[in-house]
Amino acid sequence: MSDIERESMEFDVVIVGAGPAGLAAAIRLKQVNPELSVVVLEKGGEVGAHILSGAVVDPIGIDRLLPGWREEEGHPFRTPVTDDHFLVLGPAGSFRLPNILMPPLMNNHGNYVVSLGNVCRWLATKAEALGVEIYPGFAAVGLLYNEAGAVTGVVTGDMGVEKDGTHGPGFAPGMALMGKYVLIGEGARGSLAKQLIAKYHLSDGREPGKYGIGLKELWQVKPENHRPGLVQHSFGWPLDMKTGGGSFLYHLEDNQVAVGFVVHLNYKNPYLSPFDEFQRFKTHPAIRGTFEGAKRLGYGARAITEGGWQSVPKLSFPGGALIGCAAGFVNVPRIKGSHNAVLSGMLAAEHVCDAIAAGRANDELASYEAAWRATDIGKDLKKVRNVKPLWTRFGTIVGVGLGGLDMWLNTLFGFSPFGTMKHGKAD
Ligand SMILES: Cc1cc2nc3c(=O)[nH]c(=O)nc-3n(C[C@H](O)[C@H](O)[C@H](O)COP(=O)(O)OP(=O)(O)OC[C@H]3O[C@@H](n4cnc5c(N)ncnc54)[C@H](O)[C@@H]3O)c2cc1C
């Protein structure tokens, strides 16, 4: 990174990734201190381009970040959840679990079915209105350090590099973006986050990170098959009872349905293809009717973090911090992480503002690391901390049942008979 002469730009805060975490952090920084210079780098060609859309969002984060958003024209939370279905699928049949069995945290009423890409585009307009500079189309590909070993900035990718690595005629070196603090909001398994976790041993003393692969498709369905606000989850077929995972099917606005499938990446069968399982799932008698005469509009896949409470690495390192899914804040049974991404971006931003106000720069935001477990993020993740390890250990039928019981006990009594279970080995 250092042998090329690069242009350099100075900011107070550099944020990598214009997902819910990065954008919430940018907005919060400017809300607290409008004088700060804040830049957001986004590798997608536009904000939202790399976001897997079609999600159910708990508005707790947006309510805190932008109180009053409900009164605004044109916000992207257009479809409140109207109905919550939990199905267990067998090869030919299915049955619906009574909602009353579900712990309250699994209840989706009050949440919204959204395009997460549109939510990010909307957040980006809010950030820009506050003076945040957002650069889509620029990936942060490297980190810059000072002599003390603290992060001082990031480098964007070089343009015009030939396939063999030599500089072509259109070569333009990437830029160095320097900041007092760098916030990493790359999402799951980001390349910079992986380097930082290794360099600063951020996962020492934590359980290994666990992951799933999530595949998602957006469909335009016939109006007679569309039930705006319906949220449906399933587990079971086509996965065997030793393989963790399940489906989701969310009815958005405009006759659109987001359907997806998650497979936990500790599956044992080497021939299993998550993509093929997803395609088979859509042929189930309880599912296929939705897609008759429908048209697929888009599709994508993304890693999802599943380690939760016991796997979250240390969030702070000299010169910056991890936010959102870079830290692994997904609540696995809820299949939700965007609310915690927003809350963690805000929390990190507040600690950055305090540090800068105290005249600090490029040091460790230890207070952010110390704070998160007592916040709503920690409360959300702690209650569900054993769901994934129980599923891994006891399989789908027993493991999911025990996970449900454990969530009830944690919710009602703040107690788990299992304590905090270990995940065991990395996937
Ligand atoms: C299949 C699936 C279904 C899900 N369903 C839901 C749901 O219904 N509800 C919910 O709340 N959550 C859901 N989630 C989780 C949710 O998507 C994440 O928790 C949330 O998007 C995390 O936000 P983030 O900002 O941390 O990361 P992301 O949303 O992943 O955003 C990261 C951004 O950073 C950019 N980026 C990454 N690396 C770089 C780099 N080096 N330089 C520049 N830019 C970079 C990416 O392009 C991306 O735009 C789901 C996840 C999956 C995989």
* pLDDT of amino acid 5: 83
Whether the CB of 55 sits within 6 Å of ligand 1:
yes
**Helix (H), strand (E) at residue 284:** none
Residues 243, 230: Cα–Cα separation, whole Å: 26
Residues 123 and 257 in one domain: no
Does 424 fall in a domain?
Answer: no
Tell whether the model's pLDDT for residue 333 goes beyond 70: yes
**Domain hosting residue 285, numbered range:** 78-114+210-305
Q: Which atom from ligand 1 is nearest to the alpha carbon of 192?
A: 41
* pLDDT of amino acid 1: 52
Residues 110 and 130 in one domain: no
Boundary of a domain, candidates 305, 323, 338: 305
Exposure string over 401-414, b if 16+ CB within 10 A, otherwise e: ebbbbbbbbbeeee
Residues 194 and 247 in one domain: no
Does 395 fall in a domain?
Answer: no
Of the residues 196, 330, 344, 377, which should be mutated to test ligand 1's pocket, given the most ligand atoms within 8 Å of the CB? Answer: 330
Boundary of a domain, candidates 282, 305, 328: 305
Tell whether the model's pLDDT for residue 287 goes beyond 90: yes
Among the listed residues 273, 274, 284, 210, the one whose alpha carbon sits nearest the alpha carbon of residue 249: 284
Residues 163 and 189 in one domain: yes
Among the listed residues 2, 28, 26, 5, the one whose alpha carbon sits nearest the alpha carbon of residue 16: 26
The residue whose two tokens read 């952090």 is: 25
Residues 330 and 354 in one domain: yes
Residues 313 and 337 in one domain: yes
Residue whose CA is closest, atom 29 of ligand 1? Answer: 19
* pLDDT of amino acid 2: 52
Share of the chain above pLDDT 70, in %: 99
Q: How far is CA 52 from CA 184, 208, 217, in A?
A: 19, 25, 9
Does 410 fall in a domain?
Answer: no
Residues 368, 322: Cα–Cα separation, whole Å: 10
Residues 109 and 179 in one domain: no
* Arithmetic mean of pLDDT, 374-383: 98
Residues 358 and 225 in one domain: no
> Which parts of 30-69 are beta strand (E)?
38-42, 55-57
Give the count of beta carbons closer than 10 Å to the beta carbon of residue 399. Answer: 21
Q: How does pLDDT run across 49-87, given as a tens digit for each residue?
A: 999 878 999 999 999 999 999 999 999 999 999 999 999
Boundary of a domain, candidates 305, 330, 357: 305
Does 351 fall in a domain?
Answer: yes
Whether the CB of 214 sits within 6 Å of ligand 1:
yes
Does 322 fall in a domain?
Answer: yes
* pLDDT of amino acid 43: 97
Does 391 fall in a domain?
Answer: no
Does 296 fall in a domain?
Answer: yes
Among the listed residues 190, 191, 185, the one whose alpha carbon sits nearest the alpha carbon of residue 25: 185
Distant-in-sequence, close-in-space partners of 39: CB < 8 Å, separation ≥ 6 = 9, 11, 13, 14, 15, 132, 133, 134, 135, 177, 179
- The rounded Å distance from CA 50 to ligand 1 centre is 8
The count of residues in the chain is 427
Does 64 fall in a domain?
Answer: no
Q: What total of structural domains would you count in the chain?
A: 2
Q: What does 185-202 look like in DSSP terms, one character per residue?
A: ---TT-HHHHHHHHHTTT
Name residue 38's beta-bridge partners: 13
Q: How does pLDDT run across 163-208, given as a tens digit for each residue?
A: 998 999 999 999 999 999 999 999 999 999 999 999 999 999 999 9
Residues 58, 82: Cα–Cα separation, whole Å: 14
Q: Which atom from ligand 1 is nearest to the alpha carbon of 48?
A: 49
Contact call for residues 56 and 231 (beta carbons, < 8 A): yes
Residues 219, 293: Cα–Cα separation, whole Å: 10
Q: What is the CATH number of the domain that holds 299?
A: 3.30.9.90
Whether the CB of 192 sits within 6 Å of ligand 1:
yes
Residues 329 and 370 in one domain: yes
Local structure of residue 75 (DSSP, 8 states): -
Q: How does pLDDT run across 102-144, given as a tens digit for each residue?
A: 999 999 999 999 999 999 999 999 999 999 999 999 999 999 9
Name residue 13's beta-bridge partners: 38, 181
* pLDDT of amino acid 54: 82
- The rounded Å distance from CA 226 to ligand 1 centre is 26
**Helix (H), strand (E) at residue 253:** none
* pLDDT of amino acid 68: 94
Residues 317 and 298 in one domain: no
- The rounded Å distance from CA 15 to ligand 1 centre is 14
Q: Which atom from ligand 1 is nearest to the alpha carbon of 49?
A: 49
Residues 31 and 127 in one domain: yes
Whether the CB of 16 sits within 6 Å of ligand 1:
yes
Question: Which tokens is 394 given?
Answer: 């006891």
Residues 364 and 343 in one domain: yes
Q: What is the CATH number of the domain that holds 325?
A: 3.50.50.60
Whether the CB of 325 sits within 6 Å of ligand 1:
yes
